[in-house]
Amino acid sequence: MNIEEIITGMNEVFKDVLEIDDLSINADTTANDVEDWDSINHIIIVVGIEKRFNVKFNSDEIHAFKNVGEMADTIKLKMTA
């Protein structure tokens, strides 16, 4: 799975958690760009991503992601590990 495909999959999780049907994230998207992507929903989003991609993040990783691209890179690494 390439990064674009991962981000497409992540977008589905974001849309479901945040209930924003027309949401379209990209590698540069940060929490500041998305309504309701706050600390509360961040955990829900991350856990949703864990389930979708069958990966696990530790708490340092969960709090360190600066944007969608960093999350996607980490997902790709974990999927190929």
Partner 1 sequence: MKNYTEILLNKIDEKNPGHAKKLRDNTADLDADYAITGNLFFEKYENYLLSESLTLDFGIDCYLKMLEDMQELRIKFIQSGSYINTSFEEVEKSVYANPEVMTYHMHGLVLAQFLWFDQYERIKFFRENLIRHFNHGRNYLEIGGGHGLYINEAMKLLPAQTQFDLVDISESSLLLAKGIINTANINYYLKNIFDFTNEDQYDFVTIGEVLEHIENPLALLKKISNHLTEDGVCYITTPVNAPMIDHIYLFNNEEEIRALFREAGFDIVEEKVVISEKITDAKARKAKVPVMYAAFIKKVK
Alpha-helical (H) ranges within the chain are 3-18, 39-53, 59-64, 68-80
Cβ at position 59, least distance to partner 1 in Å: 5
The answer to whether the Cα torsion of 3, 9, 14, 17 is positive or negative is negative
Cβ at position 4, least distance to partner 1 in Å: 27
- Site for partner 1 (CB under 8 A): how many residues? 10
If one asks whether residue 64 binds partner 1 (CB under 8 A), the answer comes out as: no
Question: Which residues in this chain contact partner 1 in the complex, by CB under 8 A?
Answer: 40-41, 43-44, 46-47, 50, 59, 62-63
